[in-house]
Amino acid sequence: MAQPLRAPRLRPAGLARDPDFLRLLAGSHARLVGAPLLPDDVGDDDAARARWLYDDAPFCVLAHNTAADPRFVYANRAAQACFEYGWDEFTGLSSRLSAEAPDRAERQRLLDAVTRDGFIGDYRGIRIARSGRRFRIESAIVWQLIDEAGTLHGQAATFGDWRAV
């Protein structure tokens, strides 16, 4: 992947289970966070791992691109259920809309810190679902999507803990 991710060009459902995108997500997570994104028992086949992460992972994974107003390019099924958006609605959505207006400044501070430091672990914050339901995410990790050549493609987040506010 030499070119940074752009939406809506990357809106096709093919990215959901794309082994190359899985390698970008998991590889950048491992390099920056120092821990694997997926459990060891998922296997070694990247196509199967990409399907598991999208369809079966019990935790949320989201990613947005490098646009001036970053757009989501990936949200696994757990994230879709949490935020109440389907793939076609989620991908291309401005990622700032995942937080209510008063919480957007705090969200931007987080993203600036990730840009500066490469990742943030143990993040907590309030998010909003499509229906307007507010929820707190806990123990989130947010990291830069940087490929092995050093090209920045955006940022990603993962969390498994959330509760209604």
In the numeric block, the tokens 């390099």 are attached to 31
What the block records as the tokens of 115 is 């840009």
**In this predicted structure, what is the pLDDT of residue 100?**
80
CA 59 – CA 54 distance, rounded (Å) = 10
pLDDT of residue 11: 42
**Three-class DSSP labels, 132-163:** CCEEEEEEEEEEEEECCCCCEEEEEEEECEEE
Mean pLDDT of the chain: 89
- Backbone phi, then psi, for 131, in 5-degree steps? -75, -10
What is the rounded CA–CA span in Å between residue 110 and residue 120?
8
Q: Hey, is 114 helix, strand or coil?
A: helix
Calculate mean pLDDT across residues 124-149: 94
Domain coordinates of the chain in residue numbers? Answer: 13-164
pLDDT for residue 1: 43
Distance, CA of 79 to CA of 30 (rounded, Å): 21
| Alpha carbons 7 and 113: distance in angstroms, whole number | 23
Q: What is the mean pLDDT of residues 35-55?
A: 95
Chain center to CA of 19: 16
Q: Is the pLDDT of residue 15 over 90?
A: no
For the question of whether the overall pTM of this predicted structure is more than 0.95, the answer is no
Topology (CATH level 3) of domain 13-164:
Beta-Lactamase (3.30.450)
Q: pLDDT tens, 86-127?
A: 999 999 899 999 988 767 777 778 778 888 999 999 888 899
Q: How confident is the model at residue 29 (pLDDT cuts 50, 70, 90)?
A: very high
- CA–CA gap between residue 100 and residue 28 (Å, rounded): 28
